[in-house]
């Protein structure tokens, strides 16, 4: 069987050395997209349609591995700052929302069924991640921009990568080992994830003392004590748990997975569907694959997944992948949308439109999907390198 060939990856390596895998394919696509974006900017300038945001003044989002230790620390310190500030969410209605960080987690929990498998999946998460970045900058003094996790670089050794190696300059380490059964990540029950070397609390890195306050709603970590709290609104303080999985990342989050996604799906419907996964065939896609490379609690819960700070690096890479795809053919892809307004059209619902609104609750003002289609327009002014 295909999946048996990956068994050696299930044994944790004792070596701490890490060698990033090549991401040449997506790097070239990103570079081509930037060229197209520059040409488009010139055309807009000549026709008097260029806005105040340009390639010259746009914020630059960078990959985690390219940041200095000081830059990584500044980012994680800002996340910890957000976790120390009081929530804006009404705690009578949502007792578990104790911090500003929890405001973001609750917003995602509350809207999960209308922001996945829908028209707004990509645009909602773009605005969500940007709003989180603004909170880090405006409320916690962070002077950088939202970094992204390039899955392709870490696909064959995520646990030893600078993202999850547990150093002071990481996003925290793997969970301590706790025996557990395989993780039923997909609702179809296919391709259950073999237990890795984690499963327990994260005890290394910047988030070793973090409290996860909300959820889980739909937990997948097969460990005693990880049980649903219903709506996820209850106060349920617990440690951050992870089971970082190379079994997942080496199959669904390689550079080839990303470049094939971008080059083989020329319309937005197939692009966003392939990205999110085909659960009926056991195919995770880069979106689900990224979440279950992290795994654990709350990372392995579609509702509560922003409760793991690595979520935002993952979704910045989701946004970057969409951005690269858009930039290959701006004329036809800049404002391309597809889908309905309910999860996988269940129950059946109307098609979404560019005039539909994105709401982030207490975190930001509502905007239309049309305002979130261009990272150099609307509320945004950023690019990826």
Strand partners, 368: 357
Q: What is the pLDDT of residue 10?
A: 36
Q: Cα angle at 318 between 313 and 320, to 5 degrees?
A: 90
Q: Which domain holds residue 230?
A: 24-35+60-384
Return the ∠ at Cα 260 (arms to 286 and 130), rounded to 5°.
45
Q: What pLDDT was estimated at residue 333?
A: 98
Amino acid 224: pLDDT:
85
Number of domains in the chain: 1
pTM of the model: 0.95
Residue 294 and residue 360: Cα distance in Å, rounded?
A: 24
DSSP 175: E
Using an 8 Å Cβ cutoff, are 376 and 51 in contact?
Answer: yes
Across the chain, which has 385 residues, the per-10-residue mean pLDDT values are: 37 64 98 97 92 96 98 98 98 97 98 98 98 98 98 98 98 97 96 97 98 98 92 98 98 98 98 97 98 98 98 98 98 98 96 98 98 98 98
Q: Does the residue 263 lie in any domain?
A: yes
Strands 59-61 and 382-384: parallel
In a domain, 264, yes or no: yes
- Say if 136 falls within a structural domain: yes
Give dist(CA 299, CA 309) in Å, integer: 9
Task: State how far the Cα of 288 lies from the Cα of 290, in Å rounded to an integer.
Answer: 5
Q: Is residue 197 in some structural domain?
A: yes
Residue 31 has φ and ψ, to the nearest 5°, of -65, -40
* Cα 241 versus chain centre, distance: 17
Return d(Cα 90, Cα 362) in angstroms, integer. 9
Whether 333 is covered by a domain: the verdict is yes
Q: Give the distance, in angstroms, between the CA of residue 274 and the centroid of all CA atoms in the same chain.
A: 16
Distance CA 89, CA 316 (A): 24
CATH number of the domain encompassing residue 106: 1.10.1280.10
Residue 352 lies in a domain: yes
Residue 175 lies in a domain: yes
d(CA 60, CA 58): 6
**Residue 297 and residue 201: Cα distance in Å, rounded?**
9
Find out whether 129 and 315 touch, Cβ atoms under 8 Å.
yes
Q: What is the DSSP letter of 214?
A: S
Looking at residue 320, its pLDDT comes to 98
From CA 233, how far away is CA 307, in angstroms rounded? 13
pLDDT of residue 16: 64
Contact 212, 264 (CB under 8 A): no
> Residue 29: how many CA atoms within 13 Å on its side-chain side?
23
Instruction: Kindly state the tokens that stand for 233.
Output: 């609104």
DSSP element (H, E) containing 136: helix 121-140
The secondary structure of residue 194, as a DSSP letter, is: P
Give the residue ranges of DSSP H helices in 47-143. Answer: 69-82, 100-115, 121-140
Structure tokens at 101: 């960080």
- Residue 219 resides in a domain: yes
* Helix 121-140 and helix 69-82, axial crossing angle in degrees, nearest 10: 90
pLDDT at site 11: 35
Angle between helix axes 121-140 and 310-328 (nearest 10 degrees) is: 130
Longest dimension (CA), the chain: 63
If one counts every other C-beta atom within 10 angstroms of the C-beta of residue 251, the result is 19
Nearest CA among 384, 385, 382, 313 for reference residue 59: 382
């Amino acid at each position: 069987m295909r999946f048996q060939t990956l068994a050696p990856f299930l044994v944790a390596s004792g070596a701490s050395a890490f060698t990033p895998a090549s991401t040449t394919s997506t790097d070239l696509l990103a570079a081509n997209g930037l060229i197209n974006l520059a040409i488009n900017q010139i055309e807009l300038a000549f026709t008097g349609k260029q806005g105040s945001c340009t390639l010259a003044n746009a914020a630059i989002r960078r990959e985690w591995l390219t940041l200095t230790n000081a830059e990584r620390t500044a980012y994680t310190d800002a996340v910890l700052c957000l976790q120390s500030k009081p929530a804006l969410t009404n705690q009578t209605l949502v007792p578990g929302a104790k911090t500003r960080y929890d405001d973001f987690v609750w917003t995602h929990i509350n809207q999960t069924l209308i922001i996945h498998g829908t028209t707004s999946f990509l645009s909602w998460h773009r605005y969500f991640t940007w709003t989180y970045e603004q909170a880090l900058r405006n409320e916690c003094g962070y002077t950088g921009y939202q970094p992204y996790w390039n899955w392709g670089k870490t696909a064959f050794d995520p646990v030893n990568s600078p993202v999850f190696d547990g150093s002071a300059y990481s996003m925290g380490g793997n969970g301590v080992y706790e025996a557990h059964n395989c993780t039923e990540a997909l609702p179809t029950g296919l391709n259950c994830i073999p237990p890795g070397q984690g499963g327990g609390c994260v005890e290394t890195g910047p988030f070793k003392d973090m409290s996860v306050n909300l959820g889980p709603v739909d937990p997948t970590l097969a460990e005693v004590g990880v049980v649903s709290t219903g709506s996820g609104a209850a106060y349920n303080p617990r440690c951050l748990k992870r089971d970082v999985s190379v079994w997942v990342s080496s199959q669904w989050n390689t550079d080839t997975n990303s470049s094939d996604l971008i080059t083989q799906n020329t319309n937005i419907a197939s692009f966003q569907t392939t990205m999110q996964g085909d659960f009926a065939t056991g195919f995770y896609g880069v979106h689900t694959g990224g979440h279950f490379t992290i795994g654990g609690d709350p990372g392995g819960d579609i509702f509560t997944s922003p409760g793991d700070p690595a979520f935002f690096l993952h979704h910045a890479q989701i946004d970057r992948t969409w951005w690269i795809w858009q930039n290959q053919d701006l004329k036809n892809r800049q404002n391309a949308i597809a889908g309905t307004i309910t999860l996988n059209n269940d129950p059946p619902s109307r098609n979404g439109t560019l005039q539909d609104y994105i709401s982030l609750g207490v975190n930001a003002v509502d905007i239309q999907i049309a305002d979130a289609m261009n990272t150099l327009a609307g509320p945004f002014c950023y690019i990826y390198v």
